[in-house]
């Protein structure tokens, strides 16, 4: 069973994502800020992280960079979720090691398809 970490501080999106992913047969962990996300990863390395950019304390970009700096965490797939729709931010996300970058609002079908594609790759 694949593990997915949701790093988002908004309960209103977490509730949907958690339910959908569980229904799709993933094991789901939730972190409410950047530090919590890194802690969760070091406890149990997930297969994929759904990473919100605007996290309290440590931003999504910073978390992404930390993950990519650790050789043991290289196979984690990172999908960044954000309400910031600017192209330059998307580019920054890819430059810092994200595998996909999805702007809110998004279609849940497409998100699930993206997650499947990332885990299959």
- Cα–Cα distances in Å, from 64 out to 2, 41, 108? 20, 12, 22
> Interface with other proteins by CB under 8 A: which residues?
10, 12-13, 15-17, 19-20, 23, 38, 42, 54, 61-62, 65-73, 81, 83-89, 91-92, 95-96, 103-109
Instruction: Give the 3-state secondary structure of residue 28.
Output: strand
Tell me whether residue 39 or residue 119 sits nearer to other proteins (CB atom): 39
- In 10 A of CB 102, how many CB atoms? 19
Tell me whether residue 104 or residue 116 sits nearer to other proteins (CB atom): 104
Radius of gyration of the chain (CA): 13
Q: How far is the CB of 94 from other proteins (least distance, A)?
A: 9
Tell me whether residue 29 or residue 61 sits nearer to other proteins (CB atom): 61
């Amino acid at each position: 069973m694949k593990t997915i970490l949701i790093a988002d501080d908004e309960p209103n999106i977490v509730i949907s994502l958690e339910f959908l992913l569980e229904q799709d047969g993933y094991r789901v962990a939730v972190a409410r800020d950047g530090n919590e996300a890194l802690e969760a990863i070091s406890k149990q390395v997930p297969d994929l992280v759904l990473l919100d950019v605007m996290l309290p304390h440590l931003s999504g970009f910073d978390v992404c960079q930390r993950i990519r700096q650790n050789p043991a965490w290289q196979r984690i797939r990172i999908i960044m979720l954000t309400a910031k729709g600017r192209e330059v931010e998307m580019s920054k996300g890819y430059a810092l090691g994200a595998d996909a970058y999805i702007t809110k609002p998004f279609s849940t079908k497409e998100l699930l398809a993206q997650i499947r594609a990332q885990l299959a790759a």
